[in-house]
Structure 1
Amino acid sequence: MNSTTASAAGLRRIDLNSDLGEGFGRWSLGDDAAMLSIVSSANVACGFHAGDPAAILDTVRAARDNGVAIGAHVAYRDLAGFGRRNMDVDSRDLIADVVYQIGALKGLAAAAGATVSYVKPHGALYNTIAHDERQATDVVKAIREVDPSLVLMGLAGSTVLRIGEEAGLRCVAEAFADRAYTPEGVLVSRREAGSVLHDAEQVAERMLQLVTEGTVTAIDGSVARVQADSICVHGDTEGSVAMARRVREVLTEAGIEIRSFIEGHNSGTANGGNK
């Protein structure tokens, strides 16, 4: 197995990631500058669900300057729906779309003297390939065709991570700080009340529980087992900066090191950073 996922209990380091570069033209979303001073990995939009070339390049440069690892946040071609609408894309198009997005970010990163180290699918694509064999296989194939050294980030226990591991990709499982979980350890649908969390203190304590015990408190109050090497705080969640900052503070106070999962290259810079 090539997954870096290990038992969360006793884990003394964790990656903290956020979805960034999601503005478009005159429309801005989130505070990328603030988030980049907190997180260790940045999932950068590639233009299909959000992000225009100039904004993406700015984000890549800022990630480089902050020593933050850079990942391609690939999505369905769905600007109007922010990549959160389910789509039955045929394999030929889906493979090409993922290849295109990774290539675009790699080009912008090269112009900034930075490196793209991993791929994290976004929104509806992320959720679909957690269980859909065909689309999961397409995404893995696209990554391998571009650069088989890229790390694949996805939901713990998902179909895409299994297929990625079988194909020889290094895979990283993530948990979500600002999302509610079912008793089975699956994300509660955004269509349901209480699916997105906003209390920074509550979120931080949940993530400390995740890292130290390998569990989270589910939406019904039960305990769900969740394993992860990375924690995501969505950049478009209300209060996301305060939430991410509090998660980092609580984990650091508990002796947990915040560090990217990109070993030997834990920054967005070509020669490594110091975050």
Structure 2
Amino acid sequence: MAFDLNSDLGEGFGAWRMGDDAAMLDIVTSANIACGFHAGDPSIMRRTCELAVAKGVRIGAHVGYRDLVGFGRRALAVAPQELRDETLYQLGSLEAFARAAGGRVRYVKPHGALYHAAAADRELADAVVAAMREFGGPTPDHLDGTGLALLGPSGTQLESAARDAGIAFVGEGFADRAYTPSGILAPRSQPGAVLWPDDAVVQALSIARDGKAATVGGDTVAVRAASICVHGDSPAAVEMARRIRSALDDSGVTVTAFT
């Protein structure tokens, strides 16, 4: 059994920093790097790409709404064509720094409000996928290193749009977030939506071994995933990630990048 472990990184801006990216890159196998719209700036993008390449971590484009003030977590009314252009813009920007560091962008993961909006709205999902096709084109053998994959929630419009376009889709589960009974992430404002480290370790193992995650009501819900996310801005994120990685290793799960 093999699973990827990913984290959202490069999410500072200017003098402001979030999380310990260097330490996290010693643990995870894939890095979702902010592309300057919800967070990140050129220098942070360069430095995060350099660290990822040096540590053998796969680089993914963490594309989001153009919303630095709201950290990309505000629902914005962005037209599909505009979203397509903005997604392509972010991809191209991160790819430049990835290449300069000796790597390349391997996959795309929408961020925050865009993650949820595109999961529910086929037009927005199609816009993200269209930008991916324009950037690199659909390649059925992408796992051999020749194209982009889309990382996101399984059973959603993002998965359908990717499959229909010939883009490889990788389901994602969250170690440190509780779900609703319908299988989507519970809003951060809801009590119990963000899990404490002990619970996050249990959840990561449950997703990897049983395909199940906890709901805010205390039940479980099916989560089809091949990659587990640990948010870089969660409390004690690095220590949580270390414990999750160790627990996966000890349980016989091979932690390896999906690209």
In which range does the TM-score fall when normalised by the shorter chain? over 0.9
The reply on whether 1:60 has 2:49 as its aligned counterpart is yes
| Alignment match, 1:23 | 12
1:235 aligned to which of 232, 236, 247 = 232
Cα distance, 1:214 vs structure 2: 1.2
2:206 aligned to which of 196, 204, 209 = 209
The reply on whether 1:82 has 2:84 as its aligned counterpart is no
The reply on whether 1:35 has 2:24 as its aligned counterpart is yes
Cα distance, 1:217 vs structure 2: 2.6
| Alignment match, 2:181 | 183
Q: Is the 8 A contact 2:176 2:199 kept in 1?
A: no
Partners of 1:251 and 1:222 lie apart in 2 by 22
Q: Percent identity?
A: 49
| Alignment match, 2:113 | 124
Cα distance, 1:182 vs structure 2: 1.6
The one-letter code matched in structure 2 to 1:256 is V
The reply on whether 1:102 has 2:100 as its aligned counterpart is no
Partners of 1:154 and 1:216 lie apart in 2 by 16
Report the structure, 1 or 2, having the larger helix content.
2
Number of aligned residues: 250
Cα distance, 1:223 vs structure 2: 2.0
2:37 aligned to which of 11, 29, 48 = 48
Q: Which has the higher contact order (CA 8 A, sep 6+)?
A: 1
Task: Give the root-mean-square deviation of aligned CA atoms.
Answer: 0.9
The one-letter code matched in structure 1 to 2:208 is V
| Alignment match, 1:271 | none
Q: Which aligned runs of 4 or more in structure 1 are off by greater than 2 angstroms?
A: none
Cα distance, 1:58 vs structure 2: 0.3
2:242 aligned to which of 245, 250, 261 = 245
Partners of 1:109 and 1:216 lie apart in 2 by 33
Partners of 2:86 and 2:213 lie apart in 1 by 35
The one-letter code matched in structure 1 to 2:172 is E
> TM-score by structure 1 length?
0.89
3-state DSSP class of the match of 1:138?
helix
| Alignment match, 1:7 | none
| Alignment match, 2:136 | 147
Partners of 1:170 and 1:234 lie apart in 2 by 23
> TM-score by structure 2 length?
0.95
The one-letter code matched in structure 2 to 1:204 is V
Partners of 1:156 and 1:97 lie apart in 2 by 24
3-state DSSP class of the match of 2:203?
helix
